[in-house]
Amino acid sequence: MALTNRDILHKYLRHNKRFPHIWCPGCGIGIVLGACLRAIYDTGWSKDEVVFSSGIGCTGRAPVYVDFNTLHTAHGRALTFATGIKAANPKLKVVTMMGDGDAVGIGGNHFIHACRRNIDITAVIVNNMIYGMTGGQQSPTTPRGALASTARTGVVEQPFDIAELAVASGASFVARTTSYHVHQMEKLIYRALAHPGFSVVEIITAAPTCFGRRNKYSDAVEMVKEQKAMAIDVKKAEGMGFDERRSRIVTGVLMERDAPEWTRTYAEEVRGESPAGDSGNSPGETTPEETK
């Protein structure tokens, strides 16, 4: 019998960890973490086989609250650790949650190379378009002209499009949604987890304190309403010109394809092992363990 949301949270949140969490009221990071937990529940993976990792930032604090093998690395380096974890033990299900600065600022090089390697890790990227933890400095995804504590007259550079960067770099599953679209978020994360290869889910996330305030949003609700208005399904965005696409939030699955996964390819081609391996993140391959 499927568990309720409350039961799922109860199952996966750490009971020996001192709460409350560090996030501001209205911040979307918790919404993303909740969706991750429900998606992980749907895979049927046991808590023991999941590695939940992160870098540094408000988003980076997520792992400490959840009852998996958890790892809070250094700023930008989550994917390097995750790669070692997965390469050394392909049976582990490795999920990495990163902020935008973490993923494509300081960690940008690791990000594109993880995409290129197509190693079976799921990267959930909380793109709040700002450096949250450090108080609202511009990030590589802050929109041109938006205000930040280090861009008082508006950001001069153009932003990265994380999902398109992932597609171009070779990630074999790439999707995007927003913190408004909670249901879609959960489904996309589930598909990313189930996908055997490097999978990316970018979530445009409301950060009322560090982005909203300075950019004249009255509250988090106004921010998610704007996300709803800006979102356009990837199919509807087909044929749009570059500028028009960039003025919207293109949501849905941007890329899904079969491609050689690193750990399997290494095992077969380099170690010469027979291609039996059930080493991928295929869901339901292990029985879920009892709720504690």
Partner 1 sequence: MSGRPQRELLCQGNEAVVEGSLAAGVRFFGGYPITPSTEIAEILSVELPKVGGTFIQMEDEIAGIGSCLGASLSGAKSMTATSGPGFSLMQELIGFGCIAEIPMVIVNVMRYGPSTGLPTSPSQGDVMQARWGTHGDHPIIVLTAASVLEAFHMTVKAFNFSEKYRIPVILLLDEVVGHMREKVLLPADEEVQVVNRVKPEIPPDWYKPYEVTNTGVPPMASFGEGYRYHVTGLVHDEMGFPTQVKSEVTASTDRLFDKITRGFADICITDSYQTDDAELIVVAYGSVARSAREAVDQLREKGHKAGLFQITTLWPFPRTSLENTAKVARMMVVVEMNRGQIYREVWRVSRGRWTVHKVSGTDGEMIAPQMIVDAVKEYGQWR
Ligand X SMILES: Cc1ncc(C[n+]2csc(CCOP(=O)(O)OP(=O)(O)O)c2C)c(N)n1
Q: Which residues would be at the binding site for partner 1 (CB under 8 A)?
A: 16-18, 47-49, 51, 56, 63-64, 67-74, 77, 80-89, 91-92, 109-110, 113, 266, 270-272
Residues 90, 132, 140, 283: which binds ligand SF4 (CB under 6 A)? 132
Q: Tell me whether residue 103 is exposed, middle or buried, using C-beta atoms within 10 angstroms of its C-beta: 0 to 12, 13 to 18, 19 or more.
A: buried
Closer to ligand SF4 by Cβ: residue 58 or 204: 58
**64 token code pair:** 């400490």
Q: Name the 3-class secondary structure at 76.
A: coil
Give 16's contacts (C-beta < 8 A, 6+ positions apart): none
Residue 102 binds: one of partner 1, ligand X, ligand SF4, none (C-beta under 5 to 8 A by kind): ligand X
Contact between 124 and ligand X (CB under 6 A)?
A: no
In which residue are the tokens 């982005």 written? 211
Using CB under 6 A, which residues numbered 134 to 163 contact ligand X? Answer: 134, 139
What are residue 168's phi and psi, to 5 degrees?
-65, -30
Element (H, E) at 174: strand 173-178
Piece of 11-19, 94-102, 181-189, 280-288 that binds ligand X (CB under 6 A): 94-102
Contact between 54 and ligand SF4 (CB under 6 A)?
A: no
Residues 172, 209, 279, 281: which binds ligand SF4 (CB under 6 A)? 209
Residues 11, 38, 75, 117: which binds ligand X (CB under 6 A)? 75
Give 107's contacts (C-beta < 8 A, 6+ positions apart): 55, 75, 76, 77, 78, 79, 98
Residues 8, 58, 204, 267: which binds ligand SF4 (CB under 6 A)? 58
Describe the crossing of helices 108-117 and 78-88 by its angle, rounded to 10 degrees: 30
Closer to ligand SF4 by Cβ: residue 20 or 241: 20
What are residue 222's phi and psi, to 5 degrees?
-60, -35
Piece of 41-49, 96-104, 215-223, 253-261 that binds ligand X (CB under 6 A): 96-104
CB of 208 to ligand X, least distance (A): 12
